[in-house]
Structures are given as structure tokens and as C-alpha cells.
């Protein structure tokens, strides 16, 4: 069956024509991980910061807070001295501080990581306050796929769930950045680096709500909520309420302009395209 990566929904601005162009036909390991060989520097920072937050949040119990504190201090040292600590080198992907324009990357890393780490720890604190007696008892799993076996995390999510999107029954593939676990509660959280806009926020919400919908189908025994962690949200995170509106993803002819137009195959012919043309690097 044809499939769609749920993360594509977060890039679509609700443009179903764009989503249709991203439907895939063969399975090529869509569950987590990322190809760093062709990433831009902004993407490299995004991937690096994701891995850093996952490194901290997946520590157990009281160790998590201590590691978060040390990482915060090390990030400050990185900003002031442009020097990475052993702990930061362990937390970031191999070679992160050795290739490309290092100075720029270190400053961008500090900017993104310090607030995202704070937002993640704020979410955890809010969960601990919400469920009395759960302090230091939440476990966090990273990169949990919704369509395959996750033997190391104790979940079996195969075979993939399907939904009717853009007029077609599609399998849904994807991987959740962080799953917070306590008793029968599961909080599915996505980490978002980069800038903020209301349009982006609606995209992120759609993505997380799809994950929640699929999780509820696969684990009827769980009470499930979604969350977004992003530096521009109040306290660095937001809870999501309400189910996904599947009708908003149904009309195959629905076109909505947005940043995704830059990479859309209809960008030159679409009436509502926001494609701004190829940027001129040199004036002739």
C-alpha cells in the first residue's frame, strides 16, 4: 500500500496537493534517523539539537536533572569560549563540532539548544506536578516509530495504521521525537527548532495529533496526549487538546500556499503558489 510520512504533514501548510506529491510507494526505512550527508547547516543544527535533547531526556530519574544542568553550563561555555566539552561531544552526533563552519554552528547550537532543553525540562516538570507522586518516575523514549517494531522500546507498531488522506487510503509512517511514559500515561512530544509562525504551529499540531490518533488506535490501554516543544511557546512547550480533523486532510484539490511551495513541483503553475523564484547570488 502507498504511504505518507507524518512529518510531511508538518511541512505542508495544509496543502493537500503538496501532500499528494509526497506519497511514497515503497518502504525505505521511514522510521527515525536522518541522512546527514546532504543536510544544510540549519538542518545539521536541528538534528544535532534533537539528539542533544534526547540524550538528556532519556536519562533515568534524578540523573536527568543533573545532566541537564551540566549541559546548560557546557552550552554557556560553548557560547563564550567556542569550545565543546566532552559531555557535549558525547551528546551530539559524531563529528558535529569538526566539520563545516564551526564558529557559526556553535552559536546557532547554543541559541537553539538552551531554550529547547529548558522547554523540555519545563514540560517534564509540568507532568510531574500534574501526576502527584511521579517525580523522577517518568521514563522517556526517543524516536519511537508508529509503523514498525520498536523492540528496544517495548512497542510493536507493525503493521502500519492507515487513514483516508487526499482521497486515498494511505499507510502512515513516522517516528515520534519523545514519548514520556508514566503508568498508563503517554505524552507524545515533537521538538521543533527554527522560527515560529501561526501557520507552522498549526502544521506541528496536525502532525502530533496524527501521532496521538494512531497511538490511541494501537494502545487502547493508554491515556494519550500530544505536546510541542519550541522556544517561542509559553514556557517552551504547549499541550494539545482535541482530535485531528481528518476532514482538513481530505480534499485532494485543496491548495494552500506556504514555505513548502519552494520545493513543490506545481510551484510555477499553481494559482496560490508562494514560490519566490530562484534567489540571485550574483548580479550579471
**Contact residue for ligand SF4 among 189, 272, 277, 282 (CB under 6 A):** 272
CB under 6 A: which stretch of 14-22, 26-34, 181-189, 239-247 binds ligand SF4?
14-22
Structural Rg of the chain based on CA atoms: 20
CB under 6 A: which stretch of 58-66, 87-95, 198-206, 259-267 binds ligand SF4?
259-267
CB nearer ligand SF4, residue 226 or residue 257: 257
When asked if residue 188 is in the footprint of ligand SF4 (CB under 6 A), the reply is no
When asked if residue 255 is in the footprint of ligand SF4 (CB under 6 A), the reply is yes
Smallest gap from Cβ 269 to ligand SF4, in A, equals: 8
Smallest gap from Cβ 258 to ligand SF4, in A, equals: 7
Q: Where are the alpha helices (DSSP H) in the chain?
A: 6-9, 16-21, 41-57, 63-81, 86-91, 102-130, 198-218
Interface with ligand SF4 (CB under 6 A), residue total 14
When asked if residue 87 is in the footprint of ligand SF4 (CB under 6 A), the reply is no
CB under 6 A: which stretch of 40-48, 68-76, 242-250, 266-274 binds ligand SF4?
266-274
Strand-strand pairing, 168-173 and 3-5: parallel
Instruction: Break the chain down into helix, strand, coil percent, rounded to 5.
Output: 40, 20, 40
- Here the cell at position 272 is 496560490
What does DSSP assign to residue 270?
A: -
Smallest gap from Cβ 9 to ligand SF4, in A, equals: 13
Residues 59, 66: Cα–Cα separation, whole Å? 10
Do residues 194 and 203 make contact, with C-beta atoms less than 8 angstroms apart?
no
Who's near 51: CB < 8 A, 6+ residues apart?
91, 92, 93
Partnered with residue 4 across adjacent β-strands are: 172
Positive or negative, the CA dihedral 231, 234, 237, 238 is negative
CB under 6 A: which stretch of 47-55, 155-163, 168-176, 257-265 binds ligand SF4?
257-265
Cis check for the bond before 274: say yes or no (omega within 30 of 0).
no
Per DSSP, the three-state class of 21 is: helix
When asked if residue 17 is in the footprint of ligand SF4 (CB under 6 A), the reply is yes
When asked if residue 254 is in the footprint of ligand SF4 (CB under 6 A), the reply is no
**Contact residue for ligand SF4 among 15, 49, 172, 208 (CB under 6 A):** 15
CB under 6 A: which stretch of 3-11, 44-52, 144-152, 261-269 binds ligand SF4?
261-269
Do residues 196 and 232 make contact, with C-beta atoms less than 8 angstroms apart?
yes
The closest alpha carbon to 11, from 23, 19, 1, belongs to 19
When asked if residue 264 is in the footprint of ligand SF4 (CB under 6 A), the reply is yes
CB nearer ligand SF4, residue 16 or residue 124: 16
When asked if residue 251 is in the footprint of ligand SF4 (CB under 6 A), the reply is no
Per DSSP, the three-state class of 61 is: coil
When asked if residue 19 is in the footprint of ligand SF4 (CB under 6 A), the reply is no
Residues that bind ligand SF4 (CB under 6 A): 15, 17-18, 255-257, 260-261, 264, 266-267, 270, 272-273
Amino acid at each position: 500500500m502507498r504511504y505518507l510520512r507524518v512529518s510531511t504533514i508538518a511541512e505542508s501548510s495544509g496543502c493537500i496537493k503538496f501532500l499528494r506529491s509526497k506519497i511514497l510507494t515503497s518502504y525505505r526505512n521511514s522510521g527515525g534517523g536522518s541522512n546527514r550527508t546532504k543536510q544544510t547547516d540549519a538542518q545539521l543544527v536541528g538534528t544535532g539539537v534533537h539528539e542533544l535533547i534526547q540524550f538528556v531526556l532519556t536519562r533515568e530519574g534524578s540523573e536527568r536533572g543533573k545532566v541537564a544542568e551540566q549541559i546548560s553550563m557546557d552550552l554557556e561555555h560553548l557560547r563564550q569560549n567556542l569550545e565543546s566539552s566532552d559531555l557535549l561531544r558525547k551528546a551530539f552526533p559524531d563529528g558535529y563540532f569538526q566539520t563545516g563552519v564551526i564558529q557559526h554552528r556553535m552559536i546557532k547550537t547554543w541559541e537553539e539548544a538552551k531554550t529547547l532543553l529548558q522547554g523540555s525540562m519545563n514540560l517534564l516538570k509540568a507532568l510531574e506536578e500534574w501526576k502527584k507522586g511521579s517525580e523522577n518516575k517518568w521514563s522517556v523514549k526517543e524516536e519511537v516509530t508508529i509503523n514498525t517494531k520498536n523492540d528496544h522500546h517495548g512497542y510493536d507498531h507493525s503493521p502500519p495504521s492507515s487513514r483516508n488522506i487526499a482521497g486515498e487510503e494511505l499507510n502512515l509512517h513516522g517516528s515520534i521525537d519523545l514519548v514520556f511514559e508514566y503508568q498508563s500515561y503517554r505524552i507524545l512530544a515533537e521538538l521543533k527548532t527554527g522560527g515560529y509562525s501561526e501557520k507552522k504551529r498549526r502544521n506541528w499540531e496536525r502532525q502530533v495529533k496524527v501521532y496521538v490518533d494512531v497511538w490511541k488506535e494501537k494502545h487502547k490501554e493508554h491515556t494519550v496526549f500530544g505536546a510541542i516543544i519550541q522556544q517561542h511557546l509559553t514556557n517552551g512547550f504547549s499541550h494539545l487538546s482535541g482530535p485531528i480533523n481528518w476532514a482538513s486532510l481530505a480534499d485532494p484539490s485543496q491548495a494552500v500556499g506556504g514555505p513548502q511551495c519552494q520545493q513543490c513541483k506545481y510551484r510555477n503553475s499553481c494559482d496560490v503558489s508562494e514560490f519566490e523564484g530562484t534567489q540571485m547570488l550574483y548580479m550579471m
